[in-house]
């Protein structure tokens, strides 16, 4: 795991990774942290954004959300003291995860734009997500895309000079 993480936050995420491995076993492909934690800008009010890539997930989004909630409930039960320590240090304890299949990742959904610059791998079997992010970076270079910071966060201008209504595929 990367050195951008505070040691206590690293232990917290390691515990969640252990839960993910227990539950998904060999179907767990990749887990990346992104957002303010990956950029070392997190505060207690931040959440820990994770992209979790798993083979064979249910297509039903409601079932995925229920699964995610169950996994995070396990984490809450196993990490009471650690979460208290994180809060005392002003660090985030809320995990906000997005569960996708490898096939969904290969279609380059917009969430990948949040990982292409700042994503930090925690697990990446065979470099799967790193390869997809590299493909996306190449496409963004072709488009001459620009990442812009505003007072409300980051956004992308995917194709400077694009015409109104022009479809831009990443």
Domain parsing of the chain, residue ranges: 5-106+116-125
pLDDT at residue 29, as a whole number: 99
Task: Dump pLDDT digits (tens) for 87-143.
Answer: 999 999 999 999 999 999 999 999 999 999 999 999 999 999 999 999 999 999 999
> pTM value?
0.90
DSSP-assigned states of every residue in 5-61: S-HHHHHHHHHHHHHHHHHHGGGEEEEEEETTTTTT---TT-EEEEEEEETT--S-H
Question: Could you tell me the pLDDT band of residue 169, with boundaries at 50, 70 and 90?
Answer: confident
- The residues that bridge with 50 in the sheet, in sequence order, are 33, 97
pLDDT at residue 4, as a whole number: 59
Task: Dump pLDDT digits (tens) for 31-89.
Answer: 999 999 998 888 888 999 999 999 999 999 999 999 999 999 999 999 999 999 999 99
- Which one is the CATH code of 5-106+116-125: 3.40.50.720, 3.30.930.10, 3.30.460.10, 1.10.1200.10? 3.30.460.10
């Amino acid at each position: 795991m990367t050195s951008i993480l505070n040691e206590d936050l690293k232990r917290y995420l390691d515990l969640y990774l252990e839960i993910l491995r227990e539950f998904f076993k060999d179907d767990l492909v990749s887990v990346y942290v992104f957002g303010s934690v990956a950029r070392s800008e997190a505060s207690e009010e931040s959440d820990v954004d994770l992209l979790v890539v798993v083979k064979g997930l249910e297509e039903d989004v409601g079932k995925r959300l229920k699964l995610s909630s169950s996994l995070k409930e396990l984490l809450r039960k196993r990490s009471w003291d650690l979460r208290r320590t994180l809060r005392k240090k002003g660090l985030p304890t809320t995990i906000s995860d997005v569960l996708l299949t490898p096939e969904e990742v290969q279609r380059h959904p917009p969430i990948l734009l949040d990982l292409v610059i700042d994503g930090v791998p925690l697990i990446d079997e065979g470099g799967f997500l790193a390869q997809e992010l590299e493909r996306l970076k190449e496409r963004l270079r072709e488009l001459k895309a620009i990442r812009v910071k505003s007072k409300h966060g980051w956004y992308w201008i995917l194709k400077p000079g694009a015409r109104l209504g022009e479809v831009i595929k990443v």
